[in-house]
Structure 1
Amino acid sequence: MLLNVSYNRPKIKAKIDEEVGPAFSFMERIKMKGIGSGKLFITSTSIEIHNLLILDSYLNTCGIEIRPKGIIVIFRSILETYALVIPYYKLNLYKGKAEKYSIYRDHYFIKVKANIPRIHKFMKKVSSYKAQHLDSFNRS
């Protein structure tokens, strides 16, 4: 689900929380040693996201936030902020040969550079949380 999250809209926040769960508490963030990826450089995207990114001439970057039931990929275009909300059961994460990660949800995708070791570590953390969530989901 691709959403404009530039403005404080309770309906959109509720929709995001329903899809991927509420944000982690401060203490949970400390225990997890962070929930954000930092700045990631976008190399290619699906057409819907591409059409948003070409509206300005800035460098295309994004960030990923881990939530209890999924992730949120956040990027900016012009003065608007967009979120690609991906629950774990719809998340497909691939590591390419050319030091890139591909993040898919249905027909949306974002490919990012993986030229720094911290990115590999973060993506392993995402994969680990996805496996934990899906394993506990299948047990219940």
Structure 2
Amino acid sequence: MIINTTHHNTEHKQIIADLIGSPFSLLQKFKMKGVGSKRMIIDKVSPNMQSMMNKVSDINYANIELRPKGILVMINQGLKNFTWIIPYYQLTIYKVNGSSLHAQGRFVHFKNNKTFKENKKFFDKLLDEKVRYDMLFAMPQGI
């Protein structure tokens, strides 16, 4: 689900909390050594997300925030902000010449450059959180 978060709206906060949980507490953020990525340059997006990209040749940026049951991908388009809400069970990550996040029939591909390389630890943390979430619903092994 993608919502326009340019202006504060209490309904958006409730929708996000229902889908992927409330933000981590301050203590949890310290234990995890942060829950947000640095901004990354968007290389490509799926055709159904093209309307959120800058029309001129400006660089498109996004950053990611971890939540207990998913992630928020925050995309900046000029003065507008869009948030893509992705629960962990829908998230697929591909690492091909950068990294791609796929979910809900959409994708965002981040350019493999200095800003992406600075986020390597964040992507490791993201994968750990996704695996931890997936293990909650893992099928039991044979008896």
TM-score, normalisation: structure 2 = 0.88
2:112 alignment partner, one of 102, 111, 114: 114
Structure label with greater radius of gyration: 2
Find out whether 1:24 has 2:5 as its counterpart: no
Cα distance in structure 2, aligned partners of 1:69 and 1:63: 17
Instruction: Supply the AA of the counterpart residue of 2:110.
Output: V
Aligned length: 138
Ranges in structure 1 where 5+ consecutive residues have no aligned partner: none
Find out whether 1:101 has 2:99 as its counterpart: yes
The Cα of 1:26 is off from its aligned counterpart by 1.1
Could you give the per-residue CA deviations for residues 91-138 of structure 1, whole angstroms, max 9, x where no partner exists? 000100x2x100011211100023344322211111110010111234
Report the counterpart of residue 134 of structure 2 in structure 1: 134
The Cα of 1:55 is off from its aligned counterpart by 3.6
Find out whether 1:74 has 2:74 as its counterpart: yes
Report the counterpart of residue 7 of structure 1 in structure 2: 7
Q: Secondary structure at the match of 2:137?
A: helix
The Cα of 1:7 is off from its aligned counterpart by 1.6
Cα distance in structure 1, aligned partners of 2:112 and 2:19: 27
Ranges in structure 2 where 5+ consecutive residues have no aligned partner: none
Q: Secondary structure at the match of 2:62?
A: strand
Q: Which moved more, 1:47-56 or 1:105-114?
A: 47-56
Q: Which moved more, 1:7-16 or 1:79-88?
A: 7-16
TM-score, normalisation: structure 1 = 0.90
Q: Percent of aligned pairs with the same residue?
A: 31
Cα distance in structure 2, aligned partners of 1:21 and 1:79: 27
Answer whether contact 1:91 1:103 (CA < 8 A) is retained. Answer: yes
The Cα of 1:57 is off from its aligned counterpart by 4.4
The Cα of 1:58 is off from its aligned counterpart by 2.8
